[in-house]
Chains A and B, each alone.
Chain A
Amino acid sequence: MSQAAATDFAATPAEAFAAIEQNGVALMPLRKAGLARFSESGYPSLRDEDWRFTNIEPLTDLPFRPVIDPIDQAPSMEKLGDVAFGRTEADRLVFIDGHFNADLSQTGDQPSGVTVTHLASGLAGLERKVGSLSGGDDNPFVALNDAFFTDGALIQIGDGQCLAKPVHLLFVTTAGKDGEAVHIRNWINAGANAHGTIIESHLSLGQAATVTNVVTESRIGDGANLEHVKFQDQSAKAFHLASLHSELGRDARYAFHSIALGARLSRNNLRMRLARPGIECVLNGLYMMRGQQLADHHMIVEHAAPHCDSHEYFNGVLDDQSRGVFHGRILVQPGAQKTDAKQTNKNLLLSDDATANTKPQLEIYADDVKCTHGATIGEMDDDAIFYLRTRGLDTLTARRMLMHGFAGEIIERIRLDTVREELNALVWDRLEAEHQLD
């Protein structure tokens, strides 16, 4: 198996950064500032309020090995053949260990006002943009990403333009050494009244304890309508850290779906800024964990303008000793009247040893708003099981139906038919194969 060309030694961040400088890559000021911030902060710990339920020590104990150069031999198409959404009619950008792979990718047929490419090819015009939405964030993983990112997607949809096909971003790690870390950066800009669907999937071919650290910035223009499905199905030892920084314009529609099935530990930071009136923002997530897995969704939805709706729906199925963490902060700024913010987090515990931590946090500085939140942690609803049984369904069928419904409730919200149907089948197979339902 080919090896990723990572810094081969357990380097310090500063030593590893020397390799970046040597390569003379773009955006050096951003990178240097990132390195400086990370050197200052170090990794977060359980003492940080934002990380109190998610212990990343297993990650920080790993050697520091950012992947900087592309691997010699990328995996073949056959090897990638049957990946989820691999058959979805889409423009596909494939990244192996954080590097764009033109041979495996396939683009074209987008209208002239649309750019779908990899970030490294278009950085020249983006000096002032990359980092502009994530810049205010003190998350150390964003700092690390600023310093070490290699590549990622660049999607720009001009005013009034539409993605002719969905864009599928496929991120694969092949790394074979513990600690190898892939830093990915995506930049998405949807102009006024732009439309489109983006599918982002993260998979691993290797089984090592690798790290994926992805930062996505998206600017959604006035009246734009974007659907973004993020599917994380990395191997059982992998660490996955993601942050999304979005700014939404007037009357924008944005639906972000996070399906987290893999990785030993995954963290999704979602930072949504509803900057203009009339926005509808949906954050919709499903996590299914078992063994020692942990999935953490941490969001801040900032209502900075009046008449905006935000809805967060997160369901988790937790088996064995796994853990689900949900932190939903809704910040309603003064003047953001007529805000309608809704948040639900439901956790289904399939084992006595599974844990869910759920923390809603409403900070409201306007008086004419509607904010609701609800969280449940529990076993399957006995009343529902009884109801189904009185209709002739046996207990196992009833439990399976409820479980399917629990996951289906989230998947239902995905608008793109092909993706919704594929996920439905995939999640169902997973539930059947991996979780004790009776």
Chain B
Amino acid sequence: MLEIKKLQAGIEDKPILKGIDLSVNAGEVHAIMGPNGSGKSTLASVLAGREGFDVTGGEVLYNGNDLLDLAPEERARDGVFLAFQYPVEIPGVNSAYFLRSAVNAVRTHCGEEELDAMNFLKAVKAKMKELGLNEDFLKRPVNTGFSGGEKKRNEILQMAMLNPRLAILDETDSGLDIDALRIVADGVNRLKRDDNAQLVITHYQRLLEYIVPDFVHVLHDGRIIKTGDKSLALELEEKGYDWLVKEAA
């Protein structure tokens, strides 16, 4: 589904990703861990199409097509979803209105009928209930004044409504209390199917107890220096990154 080959990217002549190889098949969950500043969010941003990052080498294929050639909205409509590490506040834009526009943009692209206000509300309220989100959320401006945890849950709500094929979750667990973590992880697991995949960026093994990864990758200084299974996360929890960095050097 996703094939990242020798990807190099940077910002203003500063190299950040220094040759990433990673392939993700449908039905898989991949975790990406790594110290602060190693390039995890940069990878997520490049996959989602944020402007300002220059891809200086390599390629990314998504279902066989060049992903990097597409505008962010085209990627989204094709099923790529990024849950932001820092969701953006958008004052004045009503959450329900925003989300329905997004859902319908994707549906239209897929040749499905648009959801009318009634059906949208029905669908979104059901998902909100699952995520323990209060309904008055919908009346508030997007992310504005939301607590850290509410913002993260809102990302998962959007994910649930957009139903992506490739979901990239950038530290969706940070800032969540223990109950919220479980709710969010349940939400993510519920969206898991054989024909989609998840790329989960996290610092904590705790999340991976709930969202069990098939592969764990360690990113360091713009390169994947180790790939293992879920036990690698446990090992990292115990020993930190130093030993790996030394091993890789």
Pick from A389, A391, A397, A404: contact of B158, CB below 8 A.
A391
Are A393 and B50 in contact, with the CB atoms below 8 A? Answer: no
Report the bound CA distance from A393 to B84 in whole Å: 16
Are B92 and A384 in contact, with the CB atoms below 8 A? Answer: no
Are A405 and B73 in contact, with the CB atoms below 8 A? Answer: no
CB contacts (< 8 Å) of B102 on chain A: these are 388, 391-393
Are B73 and A408 in contact, with the CB atoms below 8 A? Answer: no
CB contacts (< 8 Å) of A386 on chain B: these are 50-51, 72, 88
Pick from A384, A392, A401, A406: contact of B88, CB below 8 A.
A384
Which of A401, A402, A412 has the most B CB atoms < 10 Å from its CB?
A401
- Contact status of A389 and B71, CB under 8 A, knowing A384-B90, A401-B93: yes
Are A393 and B92 in contact, with the CB atoms below 8 A? Answer: no
Report the bound CA distance from A388 to B105 in whole Å: 11
CB contacts (< 8 Å) of A22 on chain B: these are none
Report the bound CA distance from A389 to B75 in whole Å: 9
- Contact status of A387 and B93, CB under 8 A, knowing A392-B76, A405-B141, A409-B141: no
Are A392 and B92 in contact, with the CB atoms below 8 A? Answer: no
- Is A61 located at the chain interface by the 8 A CB criterion? no
Which of A384, A387, A391, A407 has the most B CB atoms < 10 Å from its CB?
A391
- Specify the chain B residue showing the minimal Cβ separation from A412: B92
Which of B76, B92, B141, B162 has the most A CB atoms < 10 Å from its CB?
B92
- Is A394 located at the chain interface by the 8 A CB criterion? yes
- Contact status of A392 and B77, CB under 8 A, knowing A386-B72, A397-B101, A405-B141: yes
Pick from B71, B75, B81, B92: contact of A406, CB below 8 A.
B92
CB contacts (< 8 Å) of A405 on chain B: these are 90-94, 141
- Specify the chain A residue showing the minimal Cβ separation from B72: A389
CB contacts (< 8 Å) of B81 on chain A: these are 390
Are A404 and B92 in contact, with the CB atoms below 8 A? Answer: yes
Report the bound CA distance from A384 to B86 in whole Å: 11
Are B87 and A387 in contact, with the CB atoms below 8 A? Answer: yes
Considering only residues 365-397 of chain A, those with a C-beta below 8 Å from chain B are: 381-384, 386-395, 397
Are B76 and A390 in contact, with the CB atoms below 8 A? Answer: yes
Report the bound CA distance from A271 to B239 in whole Å: 65
Considering only residues 312-330 of chain A, those with a C-beta below 8 Å from chain B are: none
- Specify the chain A residue showing the minimal Cβ separation from B77: A392
- Contact status of A401 and B76, CB under 8 A, knowing A389-B49, A390-B48, A409-B91: no
- Is B109 located at the chain interface by the 8 A CB criterion? yes
A50-75 interface code vs B (CB 8 A; 1 in, 0 out): 00000000000000000000000000
B side interface size, CB within 8 A: 30
CB contacts (< 8 Å) of B92 on chain A: these are 404-409, 412
Interface SS majority for chain A: helix
Which of A383, A388, A406 has the most B CB atoms < 10 Å from its CB?
A388
User: Taking the nearest CB of chain A, how far is it from the CB of B202, in angstroms?
Assistant: 20
Are A392 and B91 in contact, with the CB atoms below 8 A? Answer: no
CB contacts (< 8 Å) of A409 on chain B: these are 91-92, 141
- Is B146 located at the chain interface by the 8 A CB criterion? no
Report the bound CA distance from A386 to B81 in whole Å: 12
User: Taking the nearest CB of chain A, how far is it from the CB of B12, in angstroms?
Assistant: 15
Report the bound CA distance from A387 to B106 in whole Å: 15
Report the bound CA distance from A393 to B100 in whole Å: 11
- Contact status of A393 and B105, CB under 8 A, knowing A386-B72, A408-B93: yes
Considering only residues 48-85 of chain B, those with a C-beta below 8 Å from chain A are: 48-51, 71-73, 75-77, 81-82, 84
CB contacts (< 8 Å) of A397 on chain B: these are 101, 105
CB contacts (< 8 Å) of B88 on chain A: these are 381, 383-384, 386-387
- Contact status of A393 and B101, CB under 8 A, knowing A382-B51, A384-B88, A409-B141: yes
- Specify the chain B residue showing the minimal Cβ separation from A393: B105
Considering only residues 90-113 of chain B, those with a C-beta below 8 Å from chain A are: 90-94, 98, 101-102, 105-106, 109
Are B73 and A393 in contact, with the CB atoms below 8 A? Answer: yes
Report the bound CA distance from A401 to B71 in whole Å: 18
CB contacts (< 8 Å) of A388 on chain B: these are 90, 98, 102
Are B51 and A404 in contact, with the CB atoms below 8 A? Answer: no
CB contacts (< 8 Å) of A393 on chain B: these are 73, 101-102, 105
13 pairs of residues in contact across A and B, judged by CB atoms under 8 Å: A386-B50, A387-B90, A390-B48, A390-B73, A392-B73, A392-B77, A394-B71, A394-B105, A395-B71, A397-B105, A405-B94, A408-B92, A408-B93
Across the A-B interface, give the 5 residue pairs with the lowest CB-CB distance, nearest first.
Answer: A405-B92, A409-B92, A405-B93, A392-B105, A391-B102
> Which residues from chain B sit less than 8 Å from chain A, CB to CB?
48-51, 71-73, 75-77, 81-82, 84, 87-94, 98, 101-102, 105-106, 109, 141, 158, 162
> Which residues from chain A sit less than 8 Å from chain B, CB to CB?
381-384, 386-395, 397, 401-402, 404-409, 412
Identify 12 new A-B residue pairs, CB closer than 8 A, beyond the known A388-B90, A389-B76. A386-B50, A387-B87, A389-B49, A390-B49, A390-B72, A391-B98, A392-B76, A395-B71, A395-B73, A397-B101, A405-B91, A409-B141
